[in-house]
Chain A
Amino acid sequence: MIVPQIVFWVMAVIAVLAGFGVIASHQAIRSVLSLVAVMLALSVLFLLLSAQFVFAVQVIVYAGAVMVLFLFVVALLGPMRERASRRLRFQWGLSVLVVAVFGGFIYAELQGIGFRAPDKLDTTVFGTVQQIGMGLFTTYLYPFELTSILLLVAAVGAIYLSRGGRTASEVRRQEDAELGRGGPSQEEDEIA
């Protein structure tokens, strides 16, 4: 059967093209949408590799919830034009060099990879919700509870960080007032 190979190659090409879209687009919103495409392609590969539950989580939680959060922030902050930086311009060549060396190391590792024999050969039930639940609530109960605490900490931290503060125009207005320049100009009021 050649079907798994066809599915893999189609999804791999989509994922790599969308991955290039993530790092090459000039607008943040296109990067985020390309990442959604990468995630959906990868979710099909998860399904191919008999990870049904992870597939569902990837589509619903990751491509759904997390990326919508990114889209909200992009929409909130407005379009940002990325212009060529005046500072740290040498970073570009240096970063490509670092990634090339790092990639060379991983490529060398992949060449000499040796696969261990599978733990068990019964693949009739694998990656089902039942098995995942059994794993999460028996053997890996403590890590599971720790991730719940991590989520709680992240939620509290996000609320603390994004609670009401001063906006940029308010800061500017206050700085103007401190400098004794009077109120903001008419133009700024219209923007606000």
Chain B
Amino acid sequence: MPDYGQIQVGAGTLDARLVLGLAFILFLLGAVGVLIRRNPIVILVCIELMLNAANLTLITFAAQLHNLEGQLFTLMTMTVAAAEAVVGLAILVDIFRVRDVDDIDELSELKG
């Protein structure tokens, strides 16, 4: 049985498990960042990092399966990420207009 995990890249091959491992590491880095950082802008940046890791996974499987749907879905993910960044940053600017926040935990007025 052939190893389908080897992706044809030009004349050589690349193991899909390596690329998936890289995406895994980047996603975990982003998750750690969202949980431990307190600067709201950095938290948005870490969310972008996790989205990029997910995009890498989609592209990897698109190449492994020779199926274009992964790449098309990556384009949609990028659109959603751009929309999320725009709205998130607009909310941040709106908050900063009223008060200076350097710790996301200070924004606790909405708790019950």
Chain A residues engaging chain B, CB cutoff 8 angstroms: 1-5, 8, 12, 15-16, 19-20, 22-23, 28, 31-32, 35, 38-39, 42, 45-46, 48-51, 53-54, 57-58, 61-62, 65-66, 69-70, 73-74, 76-77, 80-83, 85, 87-88, 91-92, 95-96, 98-99, 102-103, 106-107, 110, 113, 115-123, 126-127, 131-132, 135-136, 140, 143-144, 147, 150-151, 153-155, 157-158, 161-162, 165-168, 171
Contacts and interface: CB of A to CB of B under 8 A. Distances in A.
Interface in B57-112: 59-60, 62-69, 71-72, 74-76, 78-87, 89-94, 96-100, 102-103, 105
Q: Is the interface of A mostly helix, strand, loop or mixed?
A: helix
A45 B20 CA distance: 12
A157 B25 contact: no
A42 B83 contact: no
Contacts of B76: 143-144, 147
B99 A168 contact: yes
Contacts of A113: 5, 17, 20
A158 B49 contact: no
A160 to B, nearest CB: 8
Q: Is the interface of B mostly helix, strand, loop or mixed?
A: helix
A66 B41 CA distance: 13
Given A95-B32, A99-B28, A115-B16, A51 B59 contact: yes
A103 B42 contact: no
